[in-house]
Amino acid sequence: MSDIIKSIAQGVLTITINRAEKRNSITAEMYATFEAALSEAENDREVRVVLITGSEKVFSAGNDLGDFIHNPPASLDSPTWKFVRRLAAFPKPVIAAVCGAAIGIGMTMLLHCDLVFAGENAKFSVPFVDLGLCPEAASSLLLPLRVGHQRASWALLSCEAFDAETAREMGLVNRVLPVEHVFDFANQEAARLVAKPIESLVETKRLMKAMYGDQISARVDEEAVTFAKMLAGDAAKEAIASFQEKRKPDFSRF
């Protein structure tokens, strides 16, 4: 079965991250599949809303570190950054249903979704600093805009995980629900949007994002260049090695 499952029903394209054995961590191939699905959906008249999901246990643990070592996103044309740019500029409504861990890109992609519904078991974190890296997906811009500088600093610098209710209070999540209700509720909300005039939905989204569109695009690219440089650095190599060796990283030399 595919690591990215796509299905269209009643105007909704559902994209499910389906790699449970790896906690739904995302590879370069999965990014390419994800980006292609969004690209096709832009001009598909049958698709009026996109719903992104994982499983009831995990949304996404972020990038697959092993794949990152062998397929680093070294250029702006890499599948990782093409996916981020496509999601950031996607014109139709995007809903995310999040249960369990939403780590790294698993959380930062939510900043580009229009509605986010979380299960009570959801846990969010952006551990880029702990990996010897920098933020990505324009999160260094969007997170402070969304939650304020102090809370963004806490999330990005401390790398502390936080729960679904904290995410709701911060403005990252629209609603927190029992795990068993999240997907049904997200589908109900998707159906509500599908019933509305698509041009009104698209133009409303465009107008809301117009002020920051160019800034987001520029920040995605700036972060990508810095991210690729840092991924090849000693601190990131130590972080990845310590993760694979199941030990605490030693950053005292960096």
pLDDT in tens, 64-116: 988 888 888 988 999 999 999 999 999 999 999 999 999 999 999 999 999 99
Domain membership flag for residue 139 = yes
pTM to 2 decimals? Answer: 0.96
Residue 172 has pLDDT above 70, yes or no: yes
Core vs surface per residue 91-106: b (16+ CB within 10 A) or e: ebbbbbbbbbbbbbbb
The pLDDT of 224-248, averaged and rounded, is: 92
Whether residue 254 is contained in a domain is answered as no
Q: Is residue 132 part of a domain?
A: yes
User: How crowded is residue 58: how many other Cβ atoms within 10 Å of its Cβ?
Assistant: 24
- Asked whether residue 218 carries a pLDDT value surpassing 80, the answer given is yes
Q: Does residue 211 belong to any structural domain of this protein? A: no
- pLDDT at residue 224 in the model: 96
Domain-located, residue 185: no
User: Using one digit for the tens of pLDDT, what is the confidence trace for 176-206?
Assistant: 999 999 999 999 999 999 999 999 999 999 9
Among 207, 212, 211, 171, smallest CA distance to 91 is for: 207
The per-residue pLDDT of the chain, averaged, comes to 96
- Total domains in the chain come to 1
Round to whole Å and give the CA distance between 139 and 146: 10
Rounded distance, CA 251 to CA 44, Å?
48
Supply the CATH number for residue 21's domain: 3.90.226.10
Which secondary-structure segment (H or E) carries 147?
helix 139-147
Q: Answer yes or no: is 194 within a domain.
A: no
C-alpha span between 172 and 126 (Å, rounded): 13
Angle, helices 28-42/79-89, rounded to nearest 10 degrees: 30
pLDDT score, position 1: 63
In the Cβ-directed half-sphere of 63, how many Cα atoms lie within 13 Å? 29
Cα(194)–Cα(11) distance, rounded to whole angstroms? Answer: 6
The parent domain of residue 139 ranges over 4-180
Which of 245 and 90 is assigned the larger pLDDT?
90
In a domain, 203, yes or no: no
Asked if residue 42 lies in contact with residue 92, where contact means CB atoms within 8 angstroms, the answer is yes
Do residues 56 and 179 make contact, with C-beta atoms less than 8 angstroms apart? yes
Quickly state the pLDDT bin for 161 (edges 50, 70, 90).
very high
The answer to whether position 90 is within a domain reads: yes
Cα distance between residue 48 and residue 11, in whole Å: 5
Question: Distance between CA atoms of 198 and 190, rounded to whole angstroms?
Answer: 12
Report the alpha-carbon distance of residue 116 to residue 96 in Å, rounded: 5
The reported pLDDT for the residue numbered 65 is 84
